[in-house]
Amino acid sequence: MSRWIQQFENHAFQPIWKEMLDVTDEVLVDDETVVTSVEEIARFKKVVNYLDCLLEACDPELIPPSTWDNYRAQCNSCLQQIKSYQSNRNIGHITNANEHLDNLLTYIRPYQVVAGKAAKSASASFVAYTKTINSKLNSFQTEASSILDTISKYKESASSLASESEVSNQRIKVLEAHYFDDSEEESLSTRINSFEEKLEENYEKIQQYKSDLLDGDNSNESIASEINSALELAETESETIKSLLNEVKGKLKDL
């Protein structure tokens, strides 16, 4: 085994790259309705898979050892961006990670010499990209379908409420006409007012009758007083009549 191969296999970028591969599988988009976020993550996974296949297919003896030093620096920066995204969910970190991947591509692609293996790398990265896009599209379609169903239910509910509101509105108009509109027939409001006027009129009559019956005024005795006076007079006259009758009976006996 040549020293170029040994340097490649034992270089410090290898554990960083392995960790980046492991973390990549855990990178997910939060809002699948944001197309740019879906595209950033899909492209990130596509390039990582492509680079991994290129590393497997490369011939270390054809690549300057200094390349791996640069590769390690960019891998480390890319990994930190991924970890930051996993921590705060800011999609800008994935954008930055893609920029670091662009640099990694420039380091290794010039040494891509085996056509068959390169095609395998491209195929693997395309499959990874397609899986990510299809997964997000299916999830988006499911969510969109659910939202459309919810909107449809709200629409039906709103239509039903609108119909009920129209019926209630018509009833209110009928009641309003019945209570306040005198154009066709006497309204309930008018009848109530008329009833109140009659009540007040009858109340005044009752009060006057009470006054005449019990109180009287300066020029006239009350009806109750007149009745009592008449009763007293009748009783007096009754006694007089009885006395006269007794007197007549006595005279008749003498005869």
Per-residue pLDDT 10s for the chain (255 aa) are 899 999 999 999 999 999 999 999 899 998 888 889 999 999 999 999 999 999 988 899 999 999 999 999 999 999 999 999 999 999 999 999 999 999 999 999 888 765 455 545 555 555 565 666 666 666 666 776 777 778 878 788 877 877 888 887 787 777 666 666 666 667 767 777 777 777 777 777 777 776 666 666 666 666 667 777 777 777 777 777 777 777 766 666 665
Do residues 27 and 86 lie in contact, with contact meaning Cβ atoms separated by under 8 Å? yes
Which tokens belong to 26? 């855990």
Q: What is residue 115's predicted lDDT score, i.e. its pLDDT? A: 47
Q: What is the pLDDT of residues 208-246, one digit of tens each?
A: 776 666 666 666 666 667 777 777 777 777 777 777 777
Q: What is residue 133's predicted lDDT score, i.e. its pLDDT? A: 64
Q: Angle formed by the axes of helices 13-24 and 66-88, to 10°?
A: 30
Long-range contacts of 27-35 (CB under 8 A, 24+ apart): 27/82, 27/85, 27/86, 27/94, 29/91, 29/136, 30/89, 32/136, 32/139, 32/140, 32/143, 33/140, 33/143, 34/91
Alpha helix stretches (DSSP H) within the chain: 3-10, 13-24, 35-57, 66-88, 92-108, 115-180, 188-210, 223-254
